[in-house]
Amino acid sequence: MLKNIIKDLKPSSTLRINEISKELESKGKKIFKFGFGQSPFEVPKDVVDELKNNAHQNKYLSMQGLSELRAAISKYSNTKNSQNYTAENIIIGPGTKELMFLLQLLFDGDILLPAPSWVSYAPQALLGRNKVHWIITTSENNWFPTPEEIEKVILKNKDKNYLLFLNSPNNPSGQICNNLKEISDIAKKYNILILSDEIYSELSFDENFRSISQFYPEKTIISTGLSKWCGAGGWRLGYFIIPEALKELRDSLKVLASETFTSVSAPIQYAAIAAYSNNHDEYINNSRSILKAVGEYVYENLKSNKININKPQGGFYLMPEFLIEKFSTAEEMCKNILEETGVVLLPGSDFGLSKERMLARLSFTDFNGHEFMSNVKKNKKVDLNQLSKFAPKIVEGTKKLKTWSESI
């Protein structure tokens, strides 16, 4: 009854761990939700107000998206990335996940995924019947691929079409790619298509984010949306920016959109105009300030001779490697951590890393973002007292995790 390609698929590990956490909590166990990555902050009030004001909007919108919203997004993106996109370059989708899936359906070629990569890229490639090539990375290079490692894969079959997924700031590592120019050079050499997943770009801690589209605009698709910087994951609104050089691909994507999701919720699209037209600098800066302080607290308190870890550079993730030999797989280790401490982590093997390496993804968002942000003064650095007061589960969970690592 089921197609073979579906039988071996499992639910998304990030969504699954959220359900497990809720179930354990309902049974009375104290859980530290370091497994599920979701913005802790509320949607800006002016954007929420626009959603209320447009609740009456009940008509189907253009499959490409509301023209006024696409115009606002193109202006916003041009200011940020010094590009010259128009509303025609934008396609609005019900979250970027759906758009990425449609891209993989229409793409005729192989997929290049740095290990680690977000959990859904590889399953979507399987559904699109595209072969995946995992590219080796190292912590020394911020868990991003070198041009040499990319070229190794391509030289095995230069006649193939290739689509490279590049996610910076990265989920699961929390790192920023610092060799974009070198990667763009190898992409140009072999005519590689790039999907630049920039969903965390507004949350770069030192405002040092650069898009690879600045080096390779003609073959880079930018993917981003509301979920991370605007605290609106449940609203499900994302978009692609597709350059004119890829017009044929853009037109094909619009056809697939028309046969799948039709169009994104009208009230959400009207509300999103405010997200991209109004000034939210203070909201974004406060979000960055809080996440940076929380992330650096976890980093400073975990790094040791038992844990290798890179300092977070953006988003809300860290990827510690536990230097222990007690467990045979990272999944087994994470299960033990949950049982012994109540701290929920995801094994690195969920992100394309070797299951024998004791790597895990840690999300530092288990706190009340509204309360925290309401008590952060403009342009003031977040201190330890604030962190202890407004992110107590982060502090307690980190201590439990460190104690566990020292006891193994």
C-alpha–C-alpha distance, residues 176 and 189, integer Å: 23
Residue 5 lies in a domain: no
pLDDT at 64: 96
Cross-strand pairs, 240:
91, 223
> In this structure, are residues 329 and 341 in contact, taking their beta carbons and an 8 Å threshold?
no
CA dihedral 25, 29, 30, 36 (to 10 degrees): -40
Residue 119 located in a structural domain: yes
Closest to 351 (Cα-Cα) out of 115, 153, 129: 115
> Does residue 126 sit in the same domain as residue 199?
yes
The pLDDT, as a whole number, for residue 45 is: 98
Query: Can you give the pLDDT at residue 16?
Result: 74
Question: Per this entry, what is the length of the chain?
Answer: 408
Q: What is the pLDDT of residue 36?
A: 86
Could you say which DSSP state residue 143 is in?
T
CA distance 398 to 290: 16
* 247 and 298 housed in the same domain: no
The CATH number covering residue 382 comes to 3.90.1150.10
139 and 228, same domain (yes or no): yes
Pick from 325, 371, 353, 283: nearest CA to 136: 353
pLDDT tens across 113-138, in order?
999 999 999 999 999 999 999 999 99
Looking at residue 68, its pLDDT comes to: 98
Q: Say if residue 82 is in the same domain as residue 207.
A: yes
Question: At which of 207, 242, 277 does a domain end?
Answer: 277
Q: Which of 324, 294, 299 is nearest to 309 (CA)?
A: 299
Mean pLDDT across the chain, nearest whole number?
94
- Regarding whether 223 and 139 lie in a shared domain, the answer is yes
Which pLDDT belongs to residue 28? 83
The amino acid at 146: T
Residue 4 lies in a domain: no
Does 75 fall in a domain?
Answer: yes
CA angle 84, 275, 86 (to 5 degrees): 20
Pairing of strands 193-197, 220-225: parallel
| Residue 374 and residue 286 in one domain | yes
| Residues of the domain holding 305 | 10-43+281-407
Domain boundary residue, one of 226, 248, 277: 277
Chain-centroid distance, C-alpha 150: 21
Q: How many domains does the chain have?
A: 2
Q: Are residues 134 and 25 in the same domain?
A: no
Identify the pLDDT of residue 379: 59
314 backbone dihedrals φ, ψ, rounded to 5°: 180, 160
For the chain, the C-alpha Rg in angstroms (whole number) is 21
| CATH assignment of the domain containing 209 | 3.40.640.10
All residue ranges of the chain with pLDDT < 70 are 2, 12-14, 378-379
Looking at the fold, whether 201 and 71 belong to one and the same domain comes out as yes
